[in-house]
């Protein structure tokens, strides 16, 4: 079976500190996979290896059966698009300019965008409901709108894999749901493979098809949300007690922290 991403015995050191410890997992195609775990558990380092922002060892990460070490950055960008934690932009480009940057992997050096590139950017902005903002400065729109603009930029890459690193951390609940609904729809209707790091466990349960739970640089559980989110796992990883109930709207687990 060909997986969009297959990780085989991945380890990573910062100095003498081992941040990732022999990680092995496979990401299924057209699924919404959430990565969860406490701060410092290795989630973002794991993603940075997949994005080749950190250089992994040979034969530790495969993208559609290709060793990521052998892929040029431009070729990797055609396969994987990402939305980083920090979506601030130093210069006040227009939203259209920002989204068109997603076409860079498909252009030769100094090549201008074609009519097709503008059409792809328009489609991406309409999917993320920001077409009406195309002429606005990226720093003159709200945080939720900017997040959707960065997602549109990622969609303009026309990659099969979309990685979201804490995409809702700085948003209010309305925009959190908006962003996650867009990501879920891209997975369900556009057949994208979505990988998202989330801190809100209830959101992770509701939106994900598959969960990967990190703790101290290792994967301690993975699988269907109802199998991963247990009182025992939460106590072990987060050191908190929770009350678990069934969500009356969809039957999925819902957790309530027990405050002493």
- pLDDT number for residue 15: 85
- pLDDT number for residue 86: 77
CA distances (Å), 245 to each of 194, 207, 241, in order? Answer: 27, 17, 13
Domain 5-257 has CATH 3.40.50.300: yes
CB atoms within 10 A of CB 92: 11
CA distances (Å), 193 to each of 153, 163, 185, in order? Answer: 16, 8, 11
pLDDT means over runs of 10, the chain (260 residues): 93 91 96 96 94 92 95 94 83 92 90 92 94 94 91 94 91 92 92 95 95 97 95 95 91 89
- pLDDT number for residue 110: 84
CA distances (Å), 1 to each of 99, 160, 240, in order? Answer: 34, 17, 38
- pLDDT number for residue 170: 83
Structure tokens at 78: 């055609």
Predicted confidence (pLDDT) per residue in 146-183, tens digit: 999 999 999 999 999 999 999 988 888 999 999 999 99
CA distance linking residue 251 with residue 77, whole number of Å? 38
- pLDDT number for residue 134: 95
pTM of the model: 0.92
């Amino acid at each position: 079976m060909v997986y969009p991403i297959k990780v085989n015995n991945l380890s990573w050191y910062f100095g003498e500190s081992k941040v990732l410890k022999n990680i092995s997992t496979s990401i299924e195609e057209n699924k919404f996979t959430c990565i969860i775990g406490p701060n410092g558990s290795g989630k973002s380092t794991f993603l940075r290896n997949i994005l080749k922002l950190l250089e992994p060892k040979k034969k530790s990460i495969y993208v559609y059966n290709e060793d990521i070490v052998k892929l040029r950055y431009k070729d990797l960008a055609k396969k994987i698009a990402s939305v980083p934690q920090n979506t601030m932009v130093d210069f006040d480009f227009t939203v259209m300019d920002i989204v068109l940057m997603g076409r860079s992997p498909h252009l030769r050096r100094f090549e201008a965008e074609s009519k097709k590139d503008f059409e792809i950017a328009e489609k991406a902005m309409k999917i993320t409901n920001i077409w009406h903002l195309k002429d606005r400065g990226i720093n003159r729109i709200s945080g939720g709108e900017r997040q959707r603009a960065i997602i549109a930029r990622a969609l303009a890459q026309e990659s099969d894999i979309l990685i979201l690193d804490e995409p809702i951390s700085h948003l209010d609940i309305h925009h959190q749901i908006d962003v996650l609904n867009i990501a879920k729809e891209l997975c369900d209707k556009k057949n994208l493979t979505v990988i998202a790091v989330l801190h809100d466990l209830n959101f992770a349960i509701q939106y994900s098809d598959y969960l990967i739970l990190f703790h101290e640089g290792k994967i301690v559980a993975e699988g269907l949300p109802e199998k991963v989110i247990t009182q025992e796992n939460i106590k072990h990883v987060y050191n908190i007690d929770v009350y678990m109930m069934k969500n009356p709207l969809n039957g999925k687990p819902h957790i309530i922290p027990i405050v002493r």
